[in-house]
Structure 1
C-alpha cells in the first residue's frame, strides 16, 4: 500500500472579516478516508463568504488537502494472485506432461502402467498388403515354372522356365511374409470392447477403435470389456452400528476405465473388485433391517466412496454399490426375531394400557360429574381397579 499525505495543521483559521475578527476555526481535513482518489474542484478552490455585501471581497486562500492514495485490496493482491496463477499453470502443464502417470497407484501397481492409444492402421491397408503378397506369390510361382497346369490354362499364359533359384525363393519369402502380415493383422473392433497389446511382455498400447483394423500380428492381444457392467454377489458378512452380525447382498455397478492397469496391474480385476467390496462391508456399518431410507442412502454412499477409492488405482471405476438385501446372520437371526417380537408386544401392551386408562378416567369422571356416585378415596380406588380389570379382560377377549 502506498500512501501520500501532505502535512497540514489540525485547524486552519478562517479569513478575517471586515471587523478584524477571526471566524471560528473548523477542521481543514476535507477527506477522511484514504480510499478517496478524486477531489472535487470546488472544495479545493473555494471563496470564504463575506460578512456583508458592502465589505470588500475576502482574499481567496487555497486550503491544503489530504490526498491519500491507497491501492484497493484487489490491486494489492493482484501481483500475488498473478504469481500464484502462473505457478498453478506451470503445475497443470507438468501434470499434463506426466499424463496418466500422475494417478494414484495402489500398493504393488507399477506407476508406469497407464493406458495409451496403440498404433494401428485402417483395415484396408491390411487387405491391400495381403492381396499384393498373394499376387506376388502367384507371379513368383509362374516365374519359377511351378504354377499348376490348370492355373496356366485358365490364365492363358505360358509357363515360366526359370526354376526355383535363390531369387525365386527370396521373392516367395518376401511375398509370403507380406501376405501373412497383411491378412494376419486384420481385426474387427467392436463397440464396448478393447484390446490390450503386448510385445514380448511389454505394454504397447490399447485399441478402442471399431470396424476393420490392422494390428501388428506379432503383438499379443488381450480383449477387455469396457462397457458398463453390474455384479450381484452372494450375501457377504457385515455388521450394523451396534455390532450385530448381518448378511448383505450388494449390487455393484462398475466399468473398466484404464485397460492397462486393469489387465496388467492386477491378476484379476473382477476378483480384486469383489475383495474391495468385502473389505468395505467390514469397515462400514450397514443399516439394520427395517431402517429408514435415510440410513440406507447413507450406507450406500459410504460403500460407494470406499470401494471407488480402493478400486480406482487399478483402473476400475465404481459407479454405485447398493445393498439389495440385508438380513441378520444365522447365528443371531433367532435372537433378533425374538427381540423384535418382544418389542412389538411391548408396544402393543403400552397402547392397550393407555386406552384402558383413558376409558376408566372418562367413566369415573362422567359418573362423578352427573352426581350418580358420591365416593370417598377408598371407594374411588376400588372402582378404578375394578373398571381397569374389566376393560383389560374385555380387550383381551376381543383380541384388541
Structure 2
C-alpha cells in the first residue's frame, strides 16, 4: 500500500527572478525583431506563471502528473513546481465532528440514545485522497458504526448487570478510551488521526426512560431507607445503653420492647410524629 511522499519544491522567489528575466528576454525579442526569441520567451513566461503555488499554514498540496502520484507539499510559503502537475488542496487543521443521536441497544438489550464528539485531522494525504472515495463521509459512517459497537459492548449502568466493571454511564474515561481506539482503528485506512473522542450525549430511549427513572428512584428510596433504619438502630441502642448506665430507669423485656418500638417509629417514620404524654405507668 502506498503512503504519503514528501517532495521539496523550488523556492518561489527564485522563480520570480527567472520570470523577470524571461520578460526582459521577451521585450528584447520584440525590440530587436527576433520573433522566435519573443515566442520562446512568451511560452517560458506562461510555464513559469503556471508553476507558482502558495501554501498556507496547516495546508497541503497533493501533486499528480498525468494521474500518477508524485508527492505532497506541506511546507508553507511561495513555491514553484512542474507546471504540468495537477494539484489538490487539503486542510491539515484539526476539525470537530459531532455525530447524530442514534438509537442503539446496550449490552443488556436496553434501547439508548447516544452521540459522540470526534476531534480529528488528516495525517496521511495519500490515504485521505486515494484510499477512500470521500474521507469526510467515511468518517461519519465509521464513527456511527464504532458507536454502535461500543454501546453493544457495555451495559448502560449497574442496575441490569451488577457484576459489570465498566458501564456507559459511570466509567467515562474507560469508555472514551475504548471509543477512541475503536474509531482510530477504523479511520486508519483513510489516513485520519483521531485527536480526541468522547461521548457527548447518553440517555435511555424515550420509550423506557420513564420506567428506568422509576426504577432508579425506587432503588434510591430503598438505599435511603436502609441508611435510616441502620442509623435508627444505632440511636436506639445508644439510648438504651445510656439510660441503663445512668440508672435512670430499669427495663424488663416488655418495657424494652415497647421502648424500642416507639423509638423506631419516631426515628424511621416518614411523617412528623405527634407525642402522646402518658401520665400513668409505662404499661398503660
Give TM-score scaled by structure 1 length: 0.57
- One of 240, 255, 258 as aligned partner of 2:124: 258
The corresponding residue for 1:358 is 234
Separation in structure 1 between the aligned mates of residue 271 and residue 182 of structure 2, nearest angstrom: 52
* 1:115-264 matched pairs, under 5 angstroms: 115-118=4-7, 120-144=9-33, 168=35, 170-237=36-103, 240-264=106-130
Deviation by residue 1:129-149 (Cα, 9 ceiling, x = unmatched) = 3223323332333344xxxxx
The alpha carbon displacement at 1:179 in A equals: 0.4
Matched, 1:279 2:145: yes
Identify if the C-alpha distance between structure 1 residues 381 and 322 changes in structure 2 by more than 3 Å, giving closer, same or farther: same
The alpha carbon displacement at 1:343 in A equals: 1.5
The corresponding residue for 1:33 is none
**Cα RMSD (Å):** 3.1
Deviation by residue 1:62-98 (Cα, 9 ceiling, x = unmatched) = xxxxxxxxxxxxxxxxxxxxxxxxxxxxxxxxxxxxx
Give TM-score scaled by structure 2 length: 0.77
The corresponding residue for 1:335 is 211
Identify if the C-alpha distance between structure 1 residues 368 and 205 changes in structure 2 by more than 3 Å, giving closer, same or farther: same
Secondary structure of the residue aligned to 2:252 is coil
Separation in structure 1 between the aligned mates of residue 70 and residue 133 of structure 2, nearest angstrom: 18
Larger relative contact order (CA 8 Å, sep ≥ 6)? 2
User: Contact 2:131/2:189 (CA < 8 Å) preserved in 1?
Assistant: no
User: Contact 1:237/1:281 (CA < 8 Å) preserved in 2?
Assistant: no
Identify if the C-alpha distance between structure 1 residues 136 and 192 changes in structure 2 by more than 3 Å, giving closer, same or farther: same
Separation in structure 2 between the aligned mates of residue 275 and residue 206 of structure 1, nearest angstrom: 27
For these two proteins, the number of residue pairs brought into alignment is: 262
User: Contact 1:288/1:326 (CA < 8 Å) preserved in 2?
Assistant: no
Secondary structure of the residue aligned to 2:70 is strand
Separation in structure 1 between the aligned mates of residue 207 and residue 195 of structure 2, nearest angstrom: 33
The corresponding residue for 2:194 is 318
Secondary structure of the residue aligned to 1:396 is coil
Deviation by residue 1:285-338 (Cα, 9 ceiling, x = unmatched) = 467479799822211221122211111122112233222443333333222222
The corresponding residue for 2:164 is none
**Unaligned ranges ≥5, structure 2:** 159-166, 274-284
Matched, 1:372 2:238: no
The corresponding residue for 2:271 is 396
Separation in structure 2 between the aligned mates of residue 352 and residue 396 of structure 1, nearest angstrom: 14
The corresponding residue for 1:346 is 222
Secondary structure of the residue aligned to 1:188 is strand
The alpha carbon displacement at 1:242 in A equals: 3.5
The alpha carbon displacement at 1:226 in A equals: 1.9
Identify if the C-alpha distance between structure 1 residues 341 and 179 changes in structure 2 by more than 3 Å, giving closer, same or farther: same
User: Contact 1:188/1:211 (CA < 8 Å) preserved in 2?
Assistant: yes
User: Contact 1:132/1:179 (CA < 8 Å) preserved in 2?
Assistant: no
Identify if the C-alpha distance between structure 1 residues 239 and 295 changes in structure 2 by more than 3 Å, giving closer, same or farther: farther
**Unaligned ranges ≥5, structure 1:** 1-110, 145-166
Secondary structure of the residue aligned to 1:242 is coil
Separation in structure 2 between the aligned mates of residue 384 and residue 116 of structure 1, nearest angstrom: 84
